[in-house]
Structure 1
Amino acid sequence: MESSLGHDDPSSLGEYRLIARLGSGGMGTVYLGRSPGGRTVALKTMHADFAADPEFRTRFRLEVDAARVIGGEYGAAVVDADPLAEVPWLATEYVLGPPLDEAVAVCGGLPEEAARVLGARLCEALSQLHNSGVVHRDLKPSNILIAATGPKLIDFGIARAAGDDRLTRTGTAAGTPAFMSPEQATGGEHGPAGDVFALAGVLVFALTGHGPFGTGQTADLLYRVRYGEADLTAVPPEMQPLLASCLSKVPDQRPGTTQLGSSLSETHGEFADFLPDAVHAEVLRRSEAVWEIEPSRLPLWEDDFTTVAPHSRERSVRRRRALVAGAGTLFAAGGVAAGWAWLGTDESGRPARSSSGSQPVGAAPKPHWKTAVSGAAEFQVFLAEDYLMMSSEAGLTSVAVKSGKQGVINREALDYSLPVADGKRIYGIDSSNAAVALIDAKTVQFRNQVTPGEDLDVKNPRLLTTHGGLIFYTGTAGKPNGEEVSLRLAIRTDTGEEQWRQEISTPESTAQVVAWKAGVLVLALENVETMWGVSTRTGKKIWSNSFPPNGEGEERVVAFSHGRGASHYYLGFQEIIAVGIIDGKVSWRFGKERSNPTRKERSMFYGVPIFHDGVVYAVEMGYGIVALDAESGTLLWELETDWAADASYLSIPAAGTGYVYFSVDKGRWFAAIDCEKRREAWVFSGSDEAGYTDLLAAPSAKKLIAVNGNTVLAFPLE
């Protein structure tokens, strides 16, 4: 399905204007584009680091050649290509139809006759490819598009001429484990018979909704492919012998594509006549939807922001809520298009100062809507596009960001461990089967299960974060000797396949993700004394750092926010500390020597910092707001307020186009700070009995969400 362009995606490739993303993988990204004449195309590119490698450039050129070989009858017709460009790209027709895996997910398994016709048409496509001396080598449901005119083979990224081992050498396996041939799984030669093996697996999936060798870890799948028997129990009896022969471990015992096609179906007629009504409806829906897609680009926060994670030795329930609320808050901070104006120095050369008492504070705007979540005193809030999802001991419920309309409460299948969100999708743990699954933010129902916990043999899963098509989590697993070990894992959100797993120490299993950037996750232990960077590709540690407390019982707040040009996360301790995400080195410190009487009263001095457009903002407890240059830590300006002594140092700030917002105290819920004029714009006052307020910005709806107790309010985001 299409999604908005990322902030750093190109605006065009060749003469084609990019409209949306269609998908992204380890090698490159596929976009939806339009020509100057209005033709809609799919454009595939390589990631920049692969484009710099001559071997991968050759592979891309061969992919273009293979796509031309298959042609428009059995594939997506090549419209244009430039494999020699700085960023190589390939433009093909945009096929109006879903991939087979999505069609089965939406419409269920195909009837036998439809599957037979599908298989026969795919045999024709493979015959054309094989007769040209090319093998596909990655035949799987997601690489087969179901159009009304017939199935289309796509993605020839690892296709090559039969017998050519220049790019994928013997001894290395390339492909998708669940649909590999045994010879491919051992790194051997995958010829045309290997494509027949994969096609049989695709047909099993089309009929039953699962592959012939199940799901699970890559090593387990490869073992079953090589030595296990295919599970054909759900396949129609008349098709079982034929598919079993295609799934023979011996390539010479498999039928050729011509023989297989004849055995599957000799029926002639329009392909569309054999498709179920539900598939027809999905094809028609996509055919109409593609013309309704308007160009859109995600703000910076969608791509680069992650959780703000307050840590404290006390108030653990509040910390749990703040952990989640922070994700949406700092997403919003990065989504602001307008730049912050900093005010530099006054005539004396000192940082500019202002006092909230020198100018009157205006009236707060009226809330756009207000709602309360019954049955829960506190809850966690997640933002997923147009909906807020609340999680508590009472269950899951959602609220429409624009209208405030509250949905039903899902009281079942909720494992009360924190879900994770990326601002667009939310994942949780379904307690009915310990599976990581996507949560529909509107209906708060679990769907699109990512992977069953038992298949990965991981117990007690705890989600860390989701980013870049991966879900990171921890758990335990048993060794052959009966010993239990702690693990940190990453799985793909699209297939559930395991990316990596690393054995970790028991204390590490309690760590939280506090930052990420450029392939590095930053994790911290509960007391924030120890932090380390972990590679998102391998799970291995890259660096470690420690920040020992300055006194017994010191409260700690750690926050990460990232915007264009920034590469640090920021700690709010007795001083504000900027730490490099890539190397873990401290770049600057601010505030330790500043004079303030509250330093004697509490050890923690600064609240959660927030970053935007080169400036870091934070509450200096007992004084007011400080604005720092993000690269050097230099004080740019400061604002004295009368509420700073009672501000919540655990609450998450938010940012709009011209204001930053900070939680104040129990009677005055939060304050809006005008960054250009260096003054309080207004303060919203609520019930004195309420606790501190968590703030979350929803820039697409232009709403500031305020969460206090079980009450949620929406204000204009300014």
Structure 2
Amino acid sequence: MNPLGPGDPLRLGPYRLAGVLGAGGMGKVYFGHDSQGRAAAIKVLLPQLAHDQHLVQRFLREAEAARAVTGPGVAHVLAAQTEGGRPWIASEFLAGPTLDQAVSAHGLFSEQAVRALAASLAQALQNIHAVGLIHRDLKPENIVLTSNGPRIIDFGIARPEHGLTLTTTGQVPVTPGYGAPEQVLGQRVGPAADIFSLGAVLAYAASGRRAYDGAHVAAVQYEVVHGEPDLSQVPEQLRTLIGPCLAKDPAFRPSPDQIRTAFAPPRGAERIWQHGPLATDIKQREVGAKQLTTLPGTVVSAPPNRRRFLTGIATGAAVLAAGGGAAAWLLGDDESGDRAKKTSPQAKNGAVPAAGKRMWGPLMIADPWSPPALVIDGNVVFGGKDGGLVVHGAVDGKKKWEALNITPSSEFLALPDGLLVAADAGGTVHAFTPSTGKQQWTADVDAVVLLAANDDALFLMTRDKKIRALDTKTRKPLWTVTSPFGSGYGTAGKRHLVLHTDTGDVSALDTGSGKKLWERRGLATYTAIPAVHGDNVIVGGNSLKAVGLDDGKDVWSVPSQSGLESFGWGSASVDGRRVYAVDNTVLHCRELSNGAKLWAYDLKTFHVANTPPAVLDSVVCGITVKGKSFDAVAIHKETGKRAWGHEQHRSKSLKLTADRNQLFLLQGESATSVSGG
């Protein structure tokens, strides 16, 4: 836990704040206490986001969801302010390790402990479902072990049973390996989805391994949908009980009441929370939290076992993650917090590093939910760790400026005239000079997502899900039309705006009038992003296709060799007369004119469908996995042979951006630049 900073409040409602548990792109979580000394974790939206009605409504929904659930198995909401000022939610502070921390520190749970855990969590889920809610993100990080038993936390994406799944660009809607198959596929979910997650949690507690694993997020999700759980390390007696929870068909999963009966923990099994090494761990955290509530307002005294306490105290609070979806746990992540800035020795001396070597970084400065970096006029742009938009020098990595009022999840684009455009939480578009951050113009156009731009206009989606074209010279709307889809993303050419959704529906509009030219449902699959080039749009999916922009008809088509609908062709990059795209695990180089294969290179890992290959001057880069490290690999554009690799030694998903002969990598909070050679 960190001390309060200059911009942090000293009090929120009845709570005196004692320190910062964690921070993300959308909010902070503070440790505080009321006048009676009762500890609380207070989650607060950042000031610049407090006027974003979408975020405030999500915040309100989280408070209402958590308040609606009664019983001992959840972290209870103590107070909340969701109207006026800075929205905040105060929840019961739980001084205990999360389940993943407990397994890591104290080893696997015994059969009796797993049975007790199953019965307790099943009862909590029964209470959650009884009020018409589905948690949707049950995982070891969202289960805190206290002296009174396990507690389920984080209702950040809890929804009514009729609610739809929340997704954003590039975001997996569930935690890989714990979300049910129907969640992975974006289908409507019911209470049985939480039962699947419970089965995966129990398998982890009993074996220390995920029931579904893989080298890449997409590989894990494929196993959840099509594969079988790995329960080989789960004791035989538990295997037959956990297996039914992981049934593919929700109808075949047991109810919470059936789980409590089947697992039937022996008498006294609940004492695991009160005796032994785990109980000692919990007690030390409780003592530390109690001592902090007696301090005048800042962390100035060390409680017993201070190091363990300060690194573990955050386990009772979650912080909002930028861009939607789930709340993110901060201090339990070994990649959280600031690290010393690193720069390549060659870059310091002005020399160009060898191919595949760092030019600068890794710098722990990025928002984990930032869109891929944008390079414009020698500057690299991405969502900042402390919120808003941040711009660094592309060559040296030095920070140039930031715009804290900008919402990165609305996307940011480069206009043909060299300006950078982004939107704030109120829907106003801002245009900046990339090198200095000087604001050149604004336009209040109710923008919630910036889709694309061409020489004449900026195309965006409004809050009421309409598509609007903004004249970038007059800053006046050119036209506004109803979107053919309820949501989606866009790519623009001179005369065509191509819209596409996460489910693969594609439509083309005339950029001059907004008139719909054609529409094809299910043209792409699994969030593959179309690439507009000349008179065609290149689309991935079951086949890699070139589709005519004027009529939407196939020009050429290359079927996927994988035989797997969800893991066929991903997003394509067009470079000159060549198309680069990944089919299943294989990176292809193909002729733009007819789709003929020039070469293929096996990356040996499933691609992320909405991430196109990054094309540099002489190489094309993809993502590979070594062990659990997501790394970049470069392939010679002419020969299809491996040129170099850059190991990140990090287990988080990787986003690549190319500019001439430089590669930029965003991975969690880490930003790095690599020389292309």
**Shorter-chain-normalised TM-score: which range?**
0.3 to 0.5
Larger C-alpha radius of gyration, 1 or 2? 1
> TM-score, normalised on structure 2?
0.48
